[in-house]
Structure 1
Amino acid sequence: MHLRTESALDRVLDLLKDAPELPSLNLCTAFILYVLSSDTLTSGISLSTVRLMIELVSKSPQKNSVDDEEYKKMQQRILSIIHQSLQDDIFYEQRFNTCDIILETFVNISRSHLKEWLRNEARTLNGFDLMIDA
């Protein structure tokens, strides 16, 4: 199964619909979306994906309120992957969280994949406001 096909990606993301509720899964799902948004061959983003992204931001844990050991481990794993595979440091370790990842994801997809109706949906759901306020 190739994740680049729209239906396969939608099925995977549908399995992650409870991700916003669990801090470590929230962070991990945001990173998966970021990686997919960096792939220039990925097909366009769907409405359900935009809604998942906004829900991840709205239910992400506060920056300094996470004492969960699993969350901290996930954070370190993701930062390690980023340092190994990205040339540019676009994330700050001190404030690395779901909101920063989703913001960068929107930047990636808005370059070429974000259709006007999806942009309007993100505005309607106050997605951009949530990211800015975070």
Structure 2
Amino acid sequence: MSTSPVPVNLSDKLAQFSELWSQKKVAELNDYEVKLAKLKGEFVWHSHEGTDELFLVISGRLTIQLRDGDVVLEPGELFVVPRGVEHCPVADEETAILLFEPAGTINTGDAGGPMTRAAENFG
């Protein structure tokens, strides 16, 4: 017995959690994960030596601090942080984002520390 395909409703998924800086995996594409997260405050400076990282703002406003200047994202805007580029996400208000990155990517990259968390399956 097969199940029929079901689209992922991002608004519904976002309404199901309130934890900040906790990535929720909502889909997989080849060797990549599509993740949702809610952010508020400042994360940690880090880089991902082996992969680029895509940030898409769904609601709120996200500043991605880079060593050579900040990138500010409004809802509907995305930015790709190139592999190896040190960055620090900051959200002055609660912000919902979609991340697209290879499966198993550590959220704190090379920095580690207390904010390191594995993505939770949320599909």
Which category of TM-score, normalised to the shorter sequence, fits these structures? Answer: under 0.3
TM-score relative to the length of structure 1 = 0.24
TM-score by structure 2 length? 0.26
As a proportion of its length, which structure holds more helix? 1
